[in-house]
Amino acid sequence: MQCNQDLDFYLSLILCIIAVLFLINQITFPAPYGKHVESEKKSAHIMVPAKYGWFIQELPSFLVPLLVILYRQQCSSLGCKLLLFMFCGHYFHRTFIYSLFTRGRPSPLHIVIMAVIFCSYNGFLQGHCMVYSASYSQDWYTDIRFASGVLIFLIGMGINIHSDHVLRNLRKPKELTYKIPKGGMFNYVSGANFLGEIVEWFGYAIASWTLPAFSFAFFTLCSIGPRAYHHHRYYLQVFKDYPKDRKALIPFIF
């Protein structure tokens, strides 16, 4: 058990270090996808259509923890099963539903490959922790940490899915012109979809109460939080009538 806990600790520490590096890099340079892939640079990259890119890169996060847990058959408590359902449920939606309906622009192949590596790493870390390190009592689902975490997770998922729906319906099929998103949390922040996902994973971290889950929530904040800032700055530069009272990520604050 101690060996497994040590492994989860070091893997979580590496994840946090990667998160800080992501944050430092993305404060200056936006992640190269969508509107932030300069048109003159696209020809220098092998581009992957958005539907295939999202499917390929998100699939490991759904399969890897599921396979780890199925291999050991140790996720016996209801709380553990619900946590597995939450984690894999998010990535089932991202892999099989979001990727099917997305109208996003193609992504560079190297970005998709990096995402596959990360999703495999994190999927293994979360699944390994749930099987080998975390110990949940049969009544964990009644614990205040689990109940409040699930509530926060569901609120975040609702914001995330609704925001994706708003973005997806901004443009007609094959239309590439960017428009101002409106409705839901977009009335308050430019990165409503990012806010939803960050809230989701902090909710999951509270519900699972493990270091790997908190390190993943921290990574999510550091990796997609800056994207909200860059999106916000882009909208302000491109749209002269962009709502001035709208924030980047945190309503009324930032």
Whether residue 122 contacts residue 58, with contact meaning beta carbons closer than 8 Å, is answered with no
Does residue 174 form part of some domain?
yes
Does residue 147 form part of some domain?
yes
Q: What is the pLDDT of residues 83-131, one digit of tens each?
A: 999 999 999 999 999 999 988 888 889 999 999 999 999 999 999 998 8
A 10 A CB-CB count for 149 gives 22
Distance between CA 117 and CA 147 in Å, rounded? 32
Stretch 68-73: mean pLDDT, rounded? 78
Does residue 93 form part of some domain?
yes
Whether residue 206 contacts residue 88, with contact meaning beta carbons closer than 8 Å, is answered with no
Q: How high is the pLDDT of residue 137?
A: 87
Does residue 38 form part of some domain?
no
Does residue 68 form part of some domain?
yes
Does residue 250 form part of some domain?
no
What sections of 29-49 are H helices per DSSP?
39-42
Does residue 243 form part of some domain?
no
* Domain span at 183: 2-32+45-238
DSSP three-state, residue 174:
coil
Split into its structural domains, the chain has a count of: 1
Q: What is the pLDDT of residues 18-56, one digit of tens each?
A: 999 999 988 887 766 666 555 445 556 789 999 999 999
DSSP three-state, residue 179:
coil
Q: How high is the pLDDT of residue 38?
A: 54
| pTM beyond 0.85 | yes
Distance between CA 222 and CA 214 in Å, rounded? 12
What are the residues facing 107 on neighbouring strands?
48
Does residue 133 form part of some domain?
yes
